[in-house]
């Protein structure tokens, strides 16, 4: 059992957590930082050689990060003066935060260290308009909560030039604004801001304001906040405001105590200078690095191939009045993700509330695509599926020469709203199901959602190579066989 300041602060955290209802935690998006995670987070930044050092802990909760950073600062620089501002919105947590602050100051006094802690009860977002860049270090475990477009928090951040669709990105933005030039921010956050259009504007502004120096990932989704039931994939990153781009240290562990792997990568491998979406790509091992190198060497974008990808046009709950499980006059197939099986579309196949047919009318005709071949990718992969990207082919000879509608939880590859060449389409379907594509996708996406933007960001073999792959096999084989076929067609070792 651990002893010392962090162990005492952990007892306060556990008691504070037990005293909160689930509804209260959901209201504020609260997920308190366990002791081991706090130690890992506060070990990330480089400590500046300045005195005093001023630290901000926004959304301080019960004060675990405050305790962890004070313990590190005092142990590593005993003579340095430390000033911490710990801000917490939830007034019911202020007693716990003040208790932890008292423990910190008593511990520091026993070591003759000069530590001051200011506990502030307030809203760090709405108060951010008057927040000056005073801090050398910001440490945070921000709350996770979607922000409505018209919310006060979102409007406040927009006035500062930040698009922050979630409370955690708003906290990061506040932290950046609060830093002095060359100050550092370290945060544990969901990985979702690293890719996709939803956080696109936020990500681009963040990467113009700070330089990421170090990034840590966890192999397991459930170990960071193991006593909270959170399964969101998290990362820890440290960044310097207005810092110069340099090598980035990527570390990974299964949990807080497991062995840590390390990689030092060029900054351009983390954020490619030719990527207009500025995805943050995390290569944690040799296989993901090989996939990144192989993918970057491919010649084509979707535009080069003359292809487009978009989400399915039918939102089933909005079209409920026109959906049916039985064919009727003027009805056409409606394809759901559950219809995708082993590279093919098994239709009709009714699972759960899936209807299978949509009745054509004036309102829904724009949702239909003409007869043809279409490559489909699930927007959300199931837990039991090995790959994040699951692709299949809608083929007229199997499914009928009829117009077709695709449900909104599918991505659809097409040519100007019409079908694709069958050999090209089948080759594309096989390519998307390869291990190399899955491995590469995982470098920038930490969740099971696959957006059309993600698929547009990929590099692809040229059209003739895709057709060659399509001619090499007429059914989706097992994974090893598929990877071998693609390896042979491309003529180089790319399957990983």
- Read off the pLDDT of residues 78-126 as tens digits, 9 standing for 90 and up: 889 999 999 999 999 999 999 999 999 999 999 999 999 999 999 999 8
Q: How far apart are the first and last CA of the chain?
A: 42
pLDDT at residue 356 is higher than 50: yes
* pLDDT average, residue stretch 447-475: 90
DSSP SS3 for 168: helix
DSSP β-bridge partners for residue 58: 87
pLDDT at residue 400 is higher than 70: yes
Q: Where is pLDDT greater, at 447 or 38?
A: 38
The whole-number pLDDT of residue 227 equals 46
The whole-number pLDDT of residue 231 equals 45
Q: Is residue 147 within 8 Å of residue 167, measured between CB atoms?
A: yes
What band does 493 get if pLDDT is binned at 50, 70 and 90? Answer: very low
pLDDT at residue 262 is higher than 50: yes
* pLDDT average, residue stretch 324-343: 86
The pLDDT tens digits of the residues spanning 266-292 come to: 999 999 998 889 999 998 888 888 888
pLDDT at residue 223 is higher than 80: no
The whole-number pLDDT of residue 384 equals 55
The whole-number pLDDT of residue 17 equals 85
| C-alpha to C-alpha distance for 414 and 395, rounded to whole angstroms | 13
The whole-number pLDDT of residue 1 equals 37
The whole-number pLDDT of residue 364 equals 62
DSSP SS3 for 463: helix
CA 250, 255, 260, 261 dihedral sign is: negative
Q: Lowest-pLDDT range, 231-235, 334-338, 361-365, 445-449? A: 361-365
The whole-number pLDDT of residue 495 equals 45
pLDDT at residue 256 is higher than 80: no
Q: Is residue 241 within 8 Å of residue 180, measured between CB atoms?
A: yes
The whole-number pLDDT of residue 412 equals 98
pLDDT at residue 221 is higher than 50: no
The whole-number pLDDT of residue 257 equals 53
Q: Is residue 360 within 8 Å of residue 330, measured between CB atoms?
A: yes
* pLDDT average, residue stretch 366-388: 85
pLDDT at residue 306 is higher than 50: yes
């Amino acid at each position: 059992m651990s002893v010392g300041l962090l162990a005492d602060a952990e007892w306060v955290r556990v008691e504070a957590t037990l005293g909160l209802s689930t509804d209260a935690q959901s209201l504020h998006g609260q997920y308190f930082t366990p002791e081991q995670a706090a130690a890992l987070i506060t070990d990330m930044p480089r400590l500046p050689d300045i005195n005093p050092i001023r630290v901000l802990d926004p959304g301080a909760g019960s004060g675990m990060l405050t305790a962890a950073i004070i313990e590190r600062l005092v142990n590593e620089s005993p003579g340095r003066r430390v000033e911490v501002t710990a801000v917490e919105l939830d007034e019911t947590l202020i007693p716990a935060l003040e208790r932890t602050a008292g423990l910190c100051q008593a511990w520091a006094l026993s070591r003759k260290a000069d530590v001051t802690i200011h506990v502030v009860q307030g809203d760090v977002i709405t108060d951010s308009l008057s927040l000056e860049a005073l801090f050398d270090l910001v440490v945070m475990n921000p709350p996770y909560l979607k922000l409505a477009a018209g919310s006060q928090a979102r409007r406040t951040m927009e006035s500062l030039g930040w698009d922050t669709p979630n409370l955690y990105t708003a906290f990061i933005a506040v932290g950046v604004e609060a830093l002095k030039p060359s100050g550092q921010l370290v945060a544990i956050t969901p990985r979702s801001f690293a890719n996709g259009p939803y956080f696109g504007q936020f990500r681009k502004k963040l990467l113009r304001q700070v330089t990421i120096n170090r990034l840590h990932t966890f192999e397991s989704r459930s170990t960071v906040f193991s006593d909270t039931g959170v399964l969101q994939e998290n990362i820890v990153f440290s960044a310097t405001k207005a810092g110069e781009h340099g090598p980035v240290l990527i570390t990974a562990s299964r949990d807080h105590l497991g062995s840590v792997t390390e990689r030092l990568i060029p900054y351009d491998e983390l954020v490619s200078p030719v990527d207009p979406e500025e995805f943050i790509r995390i290569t944690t091992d040799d296989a993901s690095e090989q996939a990144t190198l192989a993918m970057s060497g491919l010649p084509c974008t979707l535009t080069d191939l003359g292809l487009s990808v978009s989400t399915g046009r039918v939102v089933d709950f909005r079209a409920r009045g026109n959906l049916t499980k039985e064919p009727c006059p003027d009805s056409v197939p409606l394809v759901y993700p559950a219809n995708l099986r082993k590279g093919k579309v098994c239709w009709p196949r009714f699972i759960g509330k899936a209807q299978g047919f949509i009745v054509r009318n004036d309102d829904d005709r724009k949702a239909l695509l003409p007869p043809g071949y279409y490559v489909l990718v699930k927007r959300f992969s199931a837990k039991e599926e090995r790959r994040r990207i699951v692709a299949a082919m809608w083929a007229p000879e199997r499914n009928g020469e009829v117009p077709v509608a695709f449900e909104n939880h599918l991505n659809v590859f097409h040519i100007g709203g019409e079908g694709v060449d069958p050999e090209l389409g089948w080759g594309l379907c096989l390519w998307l199901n390869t291990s190399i594509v899955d491995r590469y996708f995982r470098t920038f996406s930490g969740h099971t959602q696959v957006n059309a933007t993600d698929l547009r960001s990929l590099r692809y073999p040229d059209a003739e190579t895709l057709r060659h792959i399509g001619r090499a096999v007429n059914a989706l084989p097992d994974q090893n066989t598929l990877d071998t076929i693609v390896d042979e067609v491309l003529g180089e070792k790319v399957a990983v």
